[in-house]
Amino acid sequence: MSNIRLYFSKSLSNNLTDTLDKSQSHYVNKVMRVKENEIFSLFNSSGEWEAKILNISKGIVEFNVTKQLRQKENSKELWLAFSPIKSNYFNFMIQKATELGVTKFIPIIFDRTIVRKINKERLEKVIIEASEQSNRINVPDIEDPRSLDSFLNSNEMDLIFTDLNSENTKIDLKMVTDKPTCVIIGPEGDFSEEERAKILKFSGVQPLKINENILRSETAVISAISIIKYAIN
């Protein structure tokens, strides 16, 4: 089987016959030079499946699903709440966080956020490509930007607050429940004092100092996610 993995948004099942979209067909046929009767894999939240190319007509790849390779993942939910940043760094941050296992992205507009709009369609493409490359099955969701107050109104998560002012450098596993674990990363100008106070009032929040140095946003995301994944898994 080839090492091609593609995200397929529709339902997958044994003996399913369907076609890839125009973009994926071009990638399989023209970029990867895969021919009829060759094998590749498709995945979505239901699992990963082996597929065989039946034919390629007018540039569109028709395939048949031959068997399931992996069941759906049931890993612990790990969310990232963050401030949008400039495009190139933003793509890199989303890509690496996807590779590291984030399951949901929550953009937040803080007082000192500079970039206040996101190109959700572009970021979804980055997420899918990173999921394909990193052998993930579950593709993370990305929400529309929201305010900090709206975000903090939810009680459905355990919140880890990356706070440079904190003296705490370890995660208290006794405070980690079955709820999704969410790490919140501030904007490039850091949290305002009012925002810091609001976050510290959140029920069950854990302040965490991830480094003595002041980190760029994308560096802070990679560092925090790595620390948290190691601690809670």
Residues spanned by CATH 3.40.1280.10 within the chain?
78-232
Q: pLDDT digits over 179-227, tens only?
A: 999 999 999 888 999 999 999 999 989 999 888 888 888 999 999 999 9
- CA neighbor of 118 nearest in space, from 139, 93, 138: 93
The topology (CATH level 3) of 78-232 is: Alpha/beta knot (3.40.1280)
Phi, psi of 182 (to 5 degrees): -120, 130
The topology (CATH level 3) of 5-71 is: Ribosomal Protein L25; Chain P (2.40.240)
**CB 105, CB 120: distance < 8 Å:** no
Residues spanned by CATH 2.40.240.20 within the chain?
5-71
Q: pLDDT digits over 53-86, tens only?
A: 999 999 999 999 999 999 987 778 999 999 999 8
CB atoms within 10 A of CB 160: 29
Q: From its phi and psi, is residue 218 left (phi > 0), alpha (psi between -120 and 50) or beta?
A: alpha
- The answer to whether the Cα torsion of 127, 128, 133, 135 is positive or negative is positive
For residue 16, what is the enclosing H or E element?
none
